[in-house]
């Protein structure tokens, strides 16, 4: 084996990447190439000429003078044989840099000198500095920081972590970070989290956790993976903040935006979101939901009549009663002025919805005391059921609404299920309504037909009943039974009725003028028309405009309005009588026992309903009733008109019951004015 020679050591000294110098007292006696380059000198000779004090700045980082400190370091080396320390050097150009120095005492020519070896530690210092900074940031940040290995087991946490979770460092280290799971998320949630951690190296999201004291809290968490140089994962680092307050603030804002300030119930937009959510969950679990659409029957009257503050209190009480009538897990919302909705999730059967609806109707039907007075709100409820009546929020709401209207029209204070048939009728009504508005702009769409009224004793025509017809290019002739009630609901009865009245008056006046006769005219008034505020003025204007005498015009009023709206109808009837008009009770006997009302109602004519005329004439009892009615009418001084006579037999039967007028296909169908014309004869 080749032994190391003196020359070999020289090479070692010369080629070392660490700077080396030999210091004899206060003088350099040798140095290597690294020392020359690192200190930035031209060559060895120059460096040798420099005094040691020239190679350092005046002060070291600890604030002490370099020469003093250098002496101490040397002394330490002489004492111990060697000494290691950090130092600041200065290059020839004046630049200062940190080094780590090792002083070794070596024998040299019978004396002891120092071997000085050092290396530039700028890089290491920088890293250390950065680490110190990170440490400082991590220790002081308000966000919780948690570092785990790949197990994952916690290997470090910061003070904020302990502050937020309540767990101190010692009790957390070594544990799986899942130890504080809230139980809020299913295993699929965590599986997704780990999947994205492995795939993307990070995950970010909101997650619920449990504090040491058991309280659940939401945190915004971000997890990153730390890799080694080869790209192999080393650690996970999680940084999170407690977002309890942010969540609470968000919830408060939401509550404000999505609840009705008066009743504190969810408003329409929140209700829609919740219904959407319930539909999704019902789909998943294959369960049923019912939607109740509740409309207060008499709210408007209370609100208009007693002021908004009473109205508001009534709504608050209604809201409370509805809330109390359903389960806590059912959703109750206020979706309009006096409209409430309820979602009944997990419906065992539609029957259960009926029970709740009936309970709601009953609690809202109980009187409420406001301002020392008793009020009765009353409610009508429409029910739609998912999935039978629709699978979207809009359909379910629309159908519940339709059902509610149906409930209302069956007399208020009840509930009604939606049905496909209801839907069809409603759709037809909706398209009829649109068309009706369009038709009103066209003069030709609404026309009047006339049916003669015949005097039973002479057979002569004494007048005509005006009957409205709607001729539509697509629907054909829509029967008045269908469009009048629709127009009554949507308010178009006003303009339509006015048009019929004016046309018919003008027509009959013309016939009177041509024949020199004195035909009377019967025009039908719906309940709504009768009660409309402008009726008297309209009639006065039409009479004046057409020149028809008031006592020639008879208004047909249905029997039902005399019963349901008795007071206001009587009032209005009096005003009409004051104008000099005649009034007739239409469809008399069709269903309401209104004999009693007749006494209070200022009518002139009784139009006996067709059902009496067509009944089984063999029955002595029926003919006895009709005879009694006619006799009573006679005693009250009323004219009787038999309606809908189609056969000679019916005619004979009516004659037998008593004198009067008659209408019916037997005499003449309702005809257009142009077809009536040729049949008219001059009065004799």
Query: Of these, 598, 663, 673, 676, which contacts ligand C2E (CB under 6 A)?
Result: 663
449 lies in the binding site for Mg ion (CB under 5 A): no
Query: Of these, 158, 321, 586, 673, which contacts ligand C2E (CB under 6 A)?
Result: 586
435 lies in the binding site for Mg ion (CB under 5 A): no
Tell which residue, 40, 36, 18, 38, has the closest CA to residue 28. 36
189 lies in the binding site for ligand C2E (CB under 6 A): no
Query: Of these, 34, 484, 583, 626, which contacts ligand C2E (CB under 6 A)?
Result: 484
Q: Which residues of 148-173 are buried (b: 16+ CB within 10 A; e: fewer)?
A: beeebebeebbbbbbebbebeeeebe
Q: How far apart are CA 481 and CA 138, in angstroms?
A: 82
644 lies in the binding site for ligand C2E (CB under 6 A): yes
Tell which residue, 396, 334, 322, has the closest CA to residue 361. 322
Q: How far apart are CA 119 and CA 98, in angstroms?
A: 9
Is the alpha carbon torsion for 107, 108, 109, 112 positive or negative? Answer: negative
451 lies in the binding site for ligand C2E (CB under 6 A): yes
Which of ligand C2E, Mg ion, none has residue 144 at its interface (CB below 5 to 8 Å by kind)? none
Query: Of these, 463, 497, 517, 589, which contacts ligand C2E (CB under 6 A)?
Result: 497
Candidates 29-37, 341-349, 517-525, 546-554; binding stretch for Mg ion (CB under 5 A): 517-525
Question: Closest CB to ligand C2E among 274 and 572?
Answer: 572
Q: How far apart are CA 166 and CA 159, in angstroms?
A: 10
Q: How far apart are CA 606 and CA 468, in angstroms?
A: 21
Question: Closest CB to ligand C2E among 484 and 638?
Answer: 484
Three-state DSSP state, 553: strand
Cβ atoms of residues 139 and 159 within 8 Å: yes
**DSSP per-residue codes, 196-255:** HHHHHSEEEEEEEEE-TTS-EEEEEEEEEEEE-TTS-EEEEEEEEEE-HHHHHHHHHHHH
Q: How far apart are CA 683 and CA 431, in angstroms?
A: 46
x-marked contacts with ligand C2E along 337-356 as a string, rule CB under 6 A:
--------------------
Residue 629 CA: distances (Å) to CA of 135, 195, 388, 555, 569: 106, 89, 50, 21, 22
294 lies in the binding site for ligand C2E (CB under 6 A): no
Which of Mg ion, ligand C2E, none has residue 587 at its interface (CB below 5 to 8 Å by kind)? ligand C2E
Which of Mg ion, ligand C2E, none has residue 453 at its interface (CB below 5 to 8 Å by kind)? none
Under 8 Å CB-to-CB from 231, ≥6 apart: which residues?
A: none
452 lies in the binding site for ligand C2E (CB under 6 A): no
Question: Closest CB to ligand C2E among 116 and 608?
Answer: 608
Three-state DSSP state, 378: coil
Tell which residue, 555, 549, 453, has the closest CA to residue 501. 555
165 lies in the binding site for Mg ion (CB under 5 A): no
Q: Tell me how crowded residue 434 is: count the other CB atoms within 10 A of its CB.
A: 10
559 lies in the binding site for ligand C2E (CB under 6 A): no
Under 8 Å CB-to-CB from 323, ≥6 apart: which residues?
A: 265, 332
End-to-end CA distance of the chain: 162
Query: Of these, 209, 242, 435, 556, which contacts ligand C2E (CB under 6 A)?
Result: 556
Candidates 86-94, 196-204, 312-320, 657-665; binding stretch for ligand C2E (CB under 6 A): 657-665
Query: Of these, 467, 542, 548, 606, which contacts ligand C2E (CB under 6 A)?
Result: 467
Query: Of these, 119, 646, 647, 680, which contacts ligand C2E (CB under 6 A)?
Result: 646
Which of ligand C2E, Mg ion, none has residue 390 at its interface (CB below 5 to 8 Å by kind)? none
Angle between helices 393-409 and 268-285 (to 10 degrees): 110
524 lies in the binding site for Mg ion (CB under 5 A): yes
Query: Of these, 213, 374, 481, 616, which contacts ligand C2E (CB under 6 A)?
Result: 481
Q: How far apart are CA 672 and CA 243, in angstroms?
A: 78
Q: How far apart are CA 108 and CA 503, in angstroms?
A: 140
Which of Mg ion, ligand C2E, none has residue 209 at its interface (CB below 5 to 8 Å by kind)? none
Question: Closest CB to ligand C2E among 158 and 663?
Answer: 663
591 lies in the binding site for ligand C2E (CB under 6 A): no
Cβ atoms of residues 553 and 575 within 8 Å: no
Which of ligand C2E, Mg ion, none has residue 646 at its interface (CB below 5 to 8 Å by kind)? ligand C2E
Which of Mg ion, ligand C2E, none has residue 479 at its interface (CB below 5 to 8 Å by kind)? ligand C2E
The CB-of-478 to Mg ion minimum distance in angstroms stands at: 18
Cβ atoms of residues 374 and 362 within 8 Å: no
- Return the CA Rg of the chain: 51
The site for Mg ion, by CB under 5 A, has a size of 3
Question: Closest CB to ligand C2E among 341 and 439?
Answer: 439
Tell which residue, 374, 450, 359, 349, has the closest CA to residue 672. 450
The CB-of-317 to Mg ion minimum distance in angstroms stands at: 44
Q: How far apart are CA 182 and CA 486, in angstroms?
A: 59
Question: Closest CB to ligand C2E among 390 and 670?
Answer: 670
480 lies in the binding site for ligand C2E (CB under 6 A): yes
The site for ligand C2E, by CB under 6 A, has a size of 23
The CB-of-497 to Mg ion minimum distance in angstroms stands at: 13
Under 8 Å CB-to-CB from 497, ≥6 apart: which residues?
A: 525, 526, 529
Question: Closest CB to ligand C2E among 380 and 449?
Answer: 449
663 lies in the binding site for Mg ion (CB under 5 A): no
Query: Of these, 380, 384, 503, 526, which contacts ligand C2E (CB under 6 A)?
Result: 526
Q: How far apart are CA 550 and CA 539, in angstroms?
A: 9
587 lies in the binding site for ligand C2E (CB under 6 A): yes
Q: Which of residues 545-564 bind Mg ion (CB under 5 A)?
A: 556
Question: Closest CB to ligand C2E among 598 and 645?
Answer: 645
- Between CA 663 and CA 457, with CA 510 as vertex, the angle to 5 degrees is 30
x-marked contacts with Mg ion along 563-592 as a string, rule CB under 5 A:
-----------------------x------
The CB-of-639 to ligand C2E minimum distance in angstroms stands at: 16
Question: Closest CB to ligand C2E among 319 and 522?
Answer: 522
552 lies in the binding site for ligand C2E (CB under 6 A): no
Interacting residues with ligand C2E (CB under 6 A): 451, 467-468, 479-481, 484, 497, 500, 524-526, 529, 556, 586-587, 644-646, 663-665, 670
Residues that bind Mg ion (CB under 5 A): 524, 556, 586
């Amino acid at each position: 084996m080749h032994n190391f020679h003196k020359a070999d050591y020289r090479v070692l000294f010369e080629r070392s990447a660490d700077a080396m110098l030999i210091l004899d007292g206060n003088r350099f006696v040798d140095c290597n190439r690294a020392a020359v380059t690192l200190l930035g000198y031209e060559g060895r000779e120059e460096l040798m000429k420099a005094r040691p004090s020239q190679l350092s700045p005046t002060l070291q980082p600890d604030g002490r003078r370099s020469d003093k400190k250098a002496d101490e370091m040397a002394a330490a080396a002489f004492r111990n044989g060697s000494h290691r320390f950090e130092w600041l050097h200065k290059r020839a150009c004046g630049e200062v840099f940190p080094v780590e120095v090792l002083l070794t005492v070596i024998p040299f020519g019978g004396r002891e000198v120092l071997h000085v070896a050092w290396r530039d530690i700028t890089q290491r210092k920088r890293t250390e500095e950065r680490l110190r900074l990170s440490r400082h940031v991590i220790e002081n940040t308000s966000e919780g920081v948690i570092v785990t290995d790949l197990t994952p087991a916690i290997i470090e946490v910061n003070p904020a972590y302990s502050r937020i979770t309540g767990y101190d460092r010692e009790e957390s280290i070594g544990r799986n970070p899942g130890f504080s799971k809230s139980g809020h998320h299913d295993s699929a949630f965590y599986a997704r989290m780990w999947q994205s951690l492995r795939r993307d190296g990070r995950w970010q999201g909101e997650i619920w956790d449990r504090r040491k004291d058991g309280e659940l809290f939401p945190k915004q968490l971000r997890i990153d993976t730390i890799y080694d140089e080869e790209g192999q994962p080393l650690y996970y680092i999680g940084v999170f903040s407690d977002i309890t307050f942010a969540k609470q603030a968000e919830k408060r804002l939401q509550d404000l935006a999505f609840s009705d300030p008066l009743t504190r119930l969810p408003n329409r937009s929140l209700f829609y979101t919740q219904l959407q959510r319930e539909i999704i969950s019902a789909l998943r679990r294959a369960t049923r939901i019912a939607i109740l659409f509740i409309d207060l029957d008499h709210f408007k009257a209370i609100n208009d009549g007693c002021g908004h503050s009473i109205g508001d209190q009534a709504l608050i009480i209604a809201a409370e009663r509805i809330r109390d009538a359903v389960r806590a897990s059912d959703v109750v919302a206020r979706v309009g002025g006096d409209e409430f909705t309820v979602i009944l999730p997990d419906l065992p059967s539609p029957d259960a919805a009926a029970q709740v609806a009936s309970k709601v109707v009953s609690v809202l039907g109980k009187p409420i005391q406001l301002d020392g007075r008793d009020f009765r709100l009353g409610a009508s409820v429409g029910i739609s059921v998912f999935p039978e009546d629709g699978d979207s929020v809009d359909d379910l709401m629309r159908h519940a609404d339709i059902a509610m209207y149906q409930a209302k029209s069956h007399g208020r204070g009840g509930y009604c299920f939606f049905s496909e048939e209801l839907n069809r009728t409603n759709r037809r009504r909706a398209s009829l309504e649109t068309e009706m508005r369009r038709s009103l702009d066209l003069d030709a769409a609404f026309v009047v037909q006339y049916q003669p009224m015949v005097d039973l004793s002479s057979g002569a025509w004494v007048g005509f009943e005006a009957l409205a017809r709607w001729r539509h290019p697509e629907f054909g002739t829509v029967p008045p039974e269908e469009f009048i009630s629709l127009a009554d609901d949507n308010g178009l009865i006003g303009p339509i009725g006015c048009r019929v009245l004016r046309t018919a008056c003008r027509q009959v006046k013309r016939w009177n003028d041509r024949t020199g006769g004195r035909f009377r005219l019967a025009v039908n008034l719906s309940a709504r028309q009768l009660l409309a505020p402008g009726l008297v003025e309209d009639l006065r204007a039409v009479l004046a405009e057409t020149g028809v005498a008031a006592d020639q015009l008879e208004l047909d009023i249905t029997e039902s309005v005399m019963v349901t709206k008795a007071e206001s109808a009587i009032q209005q009837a009096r005003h009409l009588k004051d104008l000099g008009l005649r009034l007739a009770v239409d469809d008399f006997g069709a269903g309401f026992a209104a004999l009693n009302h007749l006494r209070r109602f200022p009518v002139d004519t009784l139009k006996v309903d067709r059902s009496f005329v067509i009944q089984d004439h063999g029955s002595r009892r029926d003919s006895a009733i009709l005879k009694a009615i006619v006799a009573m009418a006679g005693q009250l001084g009323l004219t009787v008109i038999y309606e809908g006579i189609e056969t000679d037999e019916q005619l004979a039967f009516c004659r037998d019951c008593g004198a009067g007028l008659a209408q019916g296909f037997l005499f003449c169908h309702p005809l257009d004015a142009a077809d009536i014309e040729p049949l008219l004869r001059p009065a004799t």
